[in-house]
A and B are shown apart, each in its own frame.
Chain A
Amino acid sequence: MERIPILKMGPFLLVTIQVDLYDRLALNLENDLITMVSKTGARGVLIDISAVTIVDSFMGRILGNIASMSRIMDAETVVVGMQPAVAITLVELGLTLQGVHTALNVERGMDLLYKKTDVLLDQNQEEEEEAAEQDPE
């Protein structure tokens, strides 16, 4: 069965949707992502939709579901790369993707994920602790 690959990148999961989704594929993605969040303990999920030309109310609901489910599992979701025509259409359709964080591109999305989760903070603390251990004074 066709599946959308999910990549693990440090504390985050990265998904790039390269095809127009049909329902089964979208539902599989929802399921796979939540399973991966649970399995890897990921703190954030980044979904790149820059290659997606159509987001209808079903697809919008799937994105909202992924965000809500991830949040319950203690992970933040950021959707990045939405095409302008898709944004215009979504708002006219009446779908404002409430509860889903968005960013213009992958780079800004990663920044947002670091800000939303305290991953960077944890790492800094560990580094400080390590430094303190090495140098007791």
Chain B
Amino acid sequence: MITMTKDTMEIVREQDVVPFRNRVKELATKIGMSLVNQTKLITAASELVRNMLKYANGGKVTLELISKAGQSGVRLTFTDKGPGIADIQQAMQDGFSTGRSLGLGLPGTRRLVNEFAISSVVGEGTTVTVTHWKNGR
């Protein structure tokens, strides 16, 4: 797998969300991702930054254009130094939320993107990586 471009964005305020979404859209457009796949990726990204702001007071996102076996895609890595998630399995269930949201964020996001990975250490933080390929597979 080759990384073609890579940059990072700090997300500390709610106002950072719209420019971040625009940046993701730029990348997705650049590799010619279809509108439906773009929408899925941006919505997933939006859910994840919202989580980061809500539970960890923000964090950092790494945006990459990647290529594997002739196929290009967008990879986003969300890193925060928040409280961490004690039970990831539980957090990945539909309808589970420690906040007062609908509890769709993490499980919904996993359904929207092609690849999803999460790791978390209580007291240290959480990292979520999502990848969406150009053709959505």
List chain A positions with a Cβ less than 8 A from chain B.
20, 22-24, 53-58, 60-61, 83-86, 88-89, 92-95
Contact = CB atoms under 8 A, between A and B. Distances in A.
Interface residues of B, number: 25
Closest 9 CB pairs of A and B: A93-B108, A85-B39, A56-B46, A85-B36, A57-B104, A94-B104, A94-B108, A89-B39, A89-B43
Contact of A95 (B14, B17, B35, B108): B108
Contacts of A92: 40, 108, 111-112
Contact of A23 (B14, B35, B112): B14
Nearest to A95: B104
B68 to A, nearest CB: 23
B101 interface: yes
Interface of B: 14-15, 17-18, 21, 35-36, 38-40, 42-43, 46-47, 50, 94, 101-102, 104-105, 107-109, 111-112
A83 B40 CA distance: 13
Contacts, number: 68
B136 to A, nearest CB: 11
Given A83-B39, A92-B112, A93-B109, 6 more contacts: A22-B15, A54-B43, A56-B50, A60-B102, A88-B39, A92-B111
A20 B14 CA distance: 13
A1 B47 CA distance: 25
